[in-house]
Structure 1
Amino acid sequence: MSLLEVITKAASNPTEHSCPSDYPIILNPDTIFPNLKPKLEDPCPSSLVNPLIGWKISETDSKLIDISKKFFTNLKNTKGFGKDEFISMLNSYLEMIRDKAGVSIRVDSSDSDYTRLLIEKLGVLMGKDVTGLVLEGCVALEIWELVEALAVSGIVEHSCYLNLITRLVEKKRSDLLCTCIKHAFDLGPSELLCVLKYFLSPSKDAYASMVNVRKEWENQALLAIEKASDNSLQKKKLALAKEASILLMIAYDGFSPSELCLHHLLSSSNIDDVMLAPAFSKLNGKEMTNLIQYLTKWLKKYERFPQAGPCPNASAVLGLKACDWVPKLEDVVKCLGLVLDENFSSLVLHPEFHEELTSMEKVVGSLTAEARLSFSMAGVIEKLKTVEVQGGKN
């Protein structure tokens, strides 16, 4: 059977995916490659493909796969389980993986974070099939701390995210949507559109969880101020803290809870133009207006505080993780360019956008003039350096 036939058959028979794959985990290559040998003693040198023999996975991998397949079968009907029974089954499964893989995890089973810690340590050994079912069960039973653990561990497959994002929007879990944006490597246009619509035009009952996100930003901003006022810090750390406090101040002040959630989307390095453009093109008038107002706020912030800039070291050095999720000026400009490209006709034909665009034009003009001045100054500095070097030689 050709590769095309395999793909076609799989696409036409989605029910087959109810069974776990033969190799659901990442196999250990150290025990496989050394045993591979050419099938032919004297292979043809002109042949593009020379078959190999000796393929055999390790005993540990084989047992891990068997454990996952059995658990997959038991877990298929997550609707029949209560929360306690589900967690008990999951713990037993993870403990078997731990014992078989020989992983040492020093945490007592009575710990309230026991299951979450097991997922953090052993999630990569669960396999994509089991992970999908566990995620489905956690969402159905609203075990949100485990949903977060699965997302943070980076083991959630792309195929699971559309359903996950949809369910989180239904449940108004703004905090977990932000977590998914931070840690998902392959969100598609459909997922991004769903998130954008939710943040740009939130319902009243969505604000409760958005306030939690706002509280996180507030705590980080207060921590930055505390660090910037701590004279016991080393000179470099103190300077970094002051830079971070300015950055977090402009990211927090004046933004609504839903806009603070948008920060994560705008600053994510995992989301590119190809994914954002289709999502922007499907926003309605109200959503587009809110997005333009949000981007205008950022432009005005960077116009007013030109000293604000990225602080990539603040997270590791000072624990100010929010600094990683503050949109840079280039992020804002890139996003604005996409909005204008994808919605040019609507923006021109509908007068309700004109006032916002006029306001934005003034800010962009000011930033452009400042950029030109900075560029000119940079040129002067380079020339002065050249003159200084040449003068030193003479």
Structure 2
Amino acid sequence: MLATSTLIFVRAFFAAGYLCFITCPQAMSLLDSIVKAVAAADDGELFPVSKVPIILNSDDIFPKLKPDSESTAAGPPIRRLSGWSISQTDSDIIESTSKFLKTLKKKLKKPQSLNRADFLQLLNSFLLTNSEKLGLELGYEPSNCADVDSVRSAIEKAGFLICQEVAVLVVHGCLVLELWEILEDLIFHRLVSHLYSSNLIEKLVDRNQARLLCLCVKHIDDLRPSVLLSVLSFFLSPSFDAYNSMLEVKKQWEKQALIAVEKATKKGIPQKASALAREASILLMLAHDDFSASESCLHHLFGNPNIDWLVFSSAISRLNGNEILALIRYLGKWLKKYERFPEAGPCLNAKSVLGLSACENVPSFDSVLAALGLTLDEHFSYLVLNSEFHDELRAMQEVVNALASEADASCALDGIVKHLQNRLNKCGRQ
């Protein structure tokens, strides 16, 4: 794959700078060397074809590399390096990982013969063995290898040992055996790549795993529009079978809101922490009250600070009529809430100070407006021609007009405040 990509780049570079290469013999020689190196790599001449299922530490490898011969001005611009070697520890981990991959692939070919205990023991033994090679203590005995809690602890401490190829098989095993707790940890620790997230999210939608889907949209980057569309459709037009899993997400919001209220009313805590708890309690109250279980799941989508609006626009453009109406009603609720509670705003420190991680998933006023604008742009004709949307749009128009008036007034007050500050500063200097 690397050789093919390099060759494509070289060809494009050559086409773009053809005249430059003709007049520059050194550059032309460099191009010839690159093409020859690519061809040699494809033929397996430079190094034997082998799979290294871990990320090698370049700090231990690059300093040992030396050119085969002294470089001269007349020689070729690219010279082969020698001295390539990896540490014994990395070699042992590569061997252990390769054996684990081979064993797990063999077992997953016959999933009916694979049970939870065998899978957990295999995964835990792999993490425990490689951790010992690195001198990392996981804090439990090998006899507990088939315990779910031990596996979760191992993933938290040694999850970096799970490379992409291993993660694909482990995720597949979790789906087959319905080990949702293990899969949750893999997603949370960002061990699931977007490269194979499409199949994962499709399976989670089929299994009605709303909580895990919420984690996916938060912790997996670069999701494709088709994947986001699947998640959006699942939340906007929920099935009866998915209600219980969505209700679980709703209860998480309620739990976080109650914790915030408790911390805000608790005596003896620092003033800054108490003020932060009050802000968080208002924000979480907005996210919990008046939203259905499925709408509570949508918070994780629109509350994602790393949201790619271009990708989201593509997903929103493919929604059907019922889903568009559900989305507009959802966004309209947020507009009305922010109008009633203008003091509500992001609580960026609530997670680190108070442990209120849900505050990170509350859609901001800006993201609500952005999502509403995209929806109107993508489906303007459909919204105009369908009278059932008109009442919703009129209600939102009133809210937006009121907010715009407040913004205009705030701008005027802001100008007055700045003017008074300047006058006071001048008086202070005099």
TM-score (norm 2): 0.85
- Give the corresponding residue for 1:91: 124
- Tell which structure's C-alpha radius of gyration is larger: 2
Distance in 2 (alpha carbons) for counterparts of 1:338 and 1:46: 58
The residue that corresponds to 2:215 in the other structure is 179
What residue in structure 1 maps to residue 331 of structure 2? 295
Q: How big is each residue's C-alpha offset from its partner over 1:340-374, in whole Å with a ceiling of 9 and x where there is no partner?
A: 12222222222222221111111111111111211
Matched letter for residue 311 of structure 2: M
Separation in structure 1 between the aligned mates of residue 80 and residue 365 of structure 2, nearest angstrom: 54
Residue 2 of structure 1 and its aligned partner are, at CA, apart by 4.9
Q: How many residues align?
A: 382
d(CA) in 2 for partners of 1:157 and 1:386? 53
Classify the secondary structure of the residue corresponding to 1:310: coil
**2-side partners of 1:5 and 1:232: how far apart?**
63
Matched, 1:253 2:286: no
2:332 and 2:396 in contact (8 A); partners too: yes
Matched, 1:123 2:159: yes
Give the 5 Å matches for 1:218-297. Answer: 218-297=254-333
- Distance (whole Å) between structure 2 residues aligned to residue 44 and residue 228 of structure 1: 72
Match of 1:393 in 2: 429
Matching of residue 39 in structure 1 with residue 68 in structure 2: yes
Q: Does 1:58 align with 2:87?
A: yes
After superposition, the C-alpha distances for 1:222-271 in whole angstroms (9 at most, x for unaligned) are 01110110121111111111111111111110000111110010011232
Q: Distance in 2 between matches of 1:200 and 1:22?
A: 43
Give how far 1:123 is off.
Answer: 1.7
- Please give the secondary structure, in 2, of the residue aligned with 1:84: helix
State the AA in 1 paired with 2:82: I
Task: Find the aligned partners of 1:274 and 1:40 in 2 and give their Cα distance.
Answer: 51
Structure 1: distance between partners of 2:166 and 2:384: 50
Which moved further from structure 2: 176-185 or 142-151?
A: 176-185
Match of 2:64, as an amino acid?
N
Q: Which amino acid aligns with 2:94?
A: I
Q: 1:316 to 1:4 in 2, by over 3 A?
A: closer
In 1, distance between residues paired with 2:208 and 2:230?
Answer: 12
Displacement of 1:324: 1.0
Tell me which amino acid in the other structure corresponds to 2:4: L
Residue identity matched to 1:65? I
Q: 1:135 aligns with which of 168, 171, 174?
A: 171
Amino acid at match of 2:237: S
Q: Which amino acid aligns with 2:382?
A: S
1:25 aligns with 2:58: no
Pairwise CA RMSD: 2.0
The counterpart of 1:161, out of the listed 176, 197, 203, is 197
1:100 aligned partner: 133
* 1:261-295 superposed Cα distances (whole Å, 9 cap, x missing partner): 10010011232112101100000000000000000
Match of 1:3 in 2: 4
Amino acid at match of 2:70: E
1-structure distance, mates of 2:410, 2:368: 19
CA contact (8 A) 2:127 2:161 kept: no
For the 8 Å contact 2:256–2:284, the answer to whether it is kept is yes
Mapped partners of 2:76, 2:268: distance in 1? 69
Distance in 2 between residues matched to 1:298 and 1:234, nearest whole Å: 31
Unaligned regions of 5+ residues in structure 1, if any?
8-19
Greater Cα offset, 295-304 or 102-111 = 102-111
Amino acid at match of 2:87: S
Aligned to 2:137, the other structure's residue is in SS state: coil
- Tell me which of the two structures has the higher relative contact order, counting C-alpha pairs closer than 8 angstroms and 6 or more residues apart: 1
Q: Residues 62, 145 of structure 1: CA spacing in aligned structure 2 closer, same or farther, 3 A cutoff?
A: same
SS in 1 for 2:414: helix
AA partner of residue 263 (structure 1): H
| Structure 2 runs not aligned, ≥5 long | 9-48
Report if the CA contact (8 A) 2:148-2:182 is conserved.
no
Q: Report the TM-score, using the length of structure 1 for normalisation.
A: 0.92
- Alignment check: 8 A CA contact 2:218 2:300 kept: yes
Amino acid at match of 2:191: I
Cα 1:6–1:135, aligned 2, differ >3 Å: closer, same or farther?
farther
* TM superposition shift of 1:30: 2.0
